[in-house]
Amino acid sequence: MAIDLDKVHIIRKALSFFSWYLSVRLIQRIGAIYHTLTYKATPSPKNVVVIGGSFAGVELVQRLVETLPTGYRVVLVEQRSHLNYLFAFPRFAVVPGHERKGFIPYDGMFTKAPEGIFKLVRDTALRLTDTHVVLASGESIPYAYLAVATGSTQPLPVNVSSLERDPGCRELQFVQESVKLAGSIAVVGAGATGVQLATDIKSFFPEKEVTLIQSGDRVMDRFGPRLSGYVMDVLQNELKVRVLLNERPNIPPKDGVLAKMTTLTFSGGRQEKFDLVLTSTGQRPNASILATLLPAAISKATGRICVLPTMQVTSYQASETSPGNSAAAPLAPHIFAFGDVAEHGGPMMGRAGAMQAEVALQNILAMIKAGNKKKNLATLKLRTYTPDWEVEGFLHLTLGRTHHLVYAMDTKKGTDLLMGIHNGTDDLDVGKFWKRYGADVKEVEGPAEGGEQ
């Protein structure tokens, strides 16, 4: 009964979010048409540089190309050849034949942008000066405003290390092959990715022995206990995955990218050998780009970039003494950070990054406008971000081939909503997201070269 009520709430929430989103997008699109007619390319425009072209960065760039005034353009600096669709990587690391669908091309994303407003620079940003972004190629790009959306680095199988699609596919194929050959597999870390990996392996290959290992006393402990209980039931009773809680085994140095034929030592000294050990831990924020110009902005606690609710970069000390205090001073008013790299107080999720992108956008536009009118920027009233956990923290989690769930938690109210669903496609319907980014998944249907048929 409780689950049914949740279903009603979730459907109501989703409908109200999408009707709000569609009406906002309609107004934005009308504004964008007018903008296309009025924007004029100029010979030396000032740059709004966005570093990082994933879920957060692309959202900001898509809005900047619809709104920046004449005299400005947006430059996106991205090191990867494609947008890595991380949500599907646990599935594509286990199930062969779909890996190329995990890499969405950038070509179609900004085709509606007015001439001269957008430039994509395929490079790695190394560091900042007061005025320039210094790139690995040796080039540097001047900026008037800067937005850092460099996210985090996660090891295989959560993400691939290669910056190109085809070698990236080979990394995923290597995991697929290793899974196929292993009889006993340990997955270390029972967060969302670890749970998805363990349930996918057991559901696509029921003959394998799968052990999920968690350091705390429940799986998925970043979320509410109700979600942990539901997932635990699926793991143990539906799929027969062995779950070990309160265990933090030492993981010997890896032989290559994945640990094979590895003995783990558990509490009390008990040892057990696994054919394959997959780790879903080890996320590191990519904040080092600020290390030379604004080292005080990097949180000593989390390694993320500290930001004000305006998304402007602030010091660790300011955010520690007055967290969420928009009255604290920015370290550099024209430098913004958002998405998973930023300490923003909201969920580390794709939708939260999109909401923060809109805050950064409105503030950049307001500062440009005020600057053009020679207004005092220090007195400008800027927009602020307040996380909406129920909307931004909306989780879609697969629990094997056909079982999945949606979950939303409101941390302030201490309430949550949960709905289990039984259906689903092997490629997780990624085509929908390709479309959202102006691309057609049919371009890459069928396995990548070197992959299994």
Q: Which residues bind ligand FAD (CB under 6 A)?
A: 51-57, 77-80, 86-87, 89-90, 124-125, 149-152, 158, 192-193, 196, 286, 289, 339-340, 348-351, 353, 395-396
**What is the per-residue DSSP string for 116-138?**
TSEEEEES-EEEE-SSEEEETTS
Q: What stretch of H or E contains 16?
A: helix 2-38
- The distance of Cα 408 from the centroid of its chain, to the nearest Å, equals 17
Q: What angle do CA 147, 152, 153 make, to 5 degrees?
A: 135
As measured in angstroms, the least distance from the Cβ of 33 to ligand FAD is 27
Residue type, 88: A
Q: Which is nearer to ligand FAD, 352 or 441 (CB)?
A: 352
In terms of C-beta density within 10 A (0-12 exposed, 13-18 middle, 19 or more buried), how is residue 432 classed?
Answer: exposed
As measured in angstroms, the least distance from the Cβ of 197 to ligand FAD is 9
Q: Which is nearer to ligand FAD, 54 or 114 (CB)?
A: 54
As measured in angstroms, the least distance from the Cβ of 309 to ligand FAD is 17
As measured in angstroms, the least distance from the Cβ of 50 to ligand FAD is 10
As measured in angstroms, the least distance from the Cβ of 346 to ligand FAD is 10
Q: Which is nearer to ligand FAD, 35 or 63 (CB)?
A: 63
| Integer Cα distance of 79 and 52 in angstroms | 8
**In this structure, are residues 407 and 418 in contact, taking their beta carbons and an 8 Å threshold?**
yes
As measured in angstroms, the least distance from the Cβ of 392 to ligand FAD is 7
| Integer Cα distance of 266 and 362 in angstroms | 51
Cβ neighbours around 258 below 10 Å, total: 20
Q: Which residue is nearest to ligand FAD (CB)?
A: 151
Q: Which is nearer to ligand FAD, 11 or 291 (CB)?
A: 291
**In this structure, are residues 394 and 416 in contact, taking their beta carbons and an 8 Å threshold?**
no
| Integer Cα distance of 419 and 164 in angstroms | 37
Q: Which is nearer to ligand FAD, 47 or 193 (CB)?
A: 193
In terms of C-beta density within 10 A (0-12 exposed, 13-18 middle, 19 or more buried), how is residue 255 classed?
Answer: exposed
As measured in angstroms, the least distance from the Cβ of 80 to ligand FAD is 4
As measured in angstroms, the least distance from the Cβ of 92 to ligand FAD is 10
As measured in angstroms, the least distance from the Cβ of 368 to ligand FAD is 23
| Integer Cα distance of 44 and 41 in angstroms | 9
Q: Shortest CA distance to 239 belongs to which of 272, 200, 275, 277?
A: 200
- At 165, phi and psi to the nearest 5? -65, -50
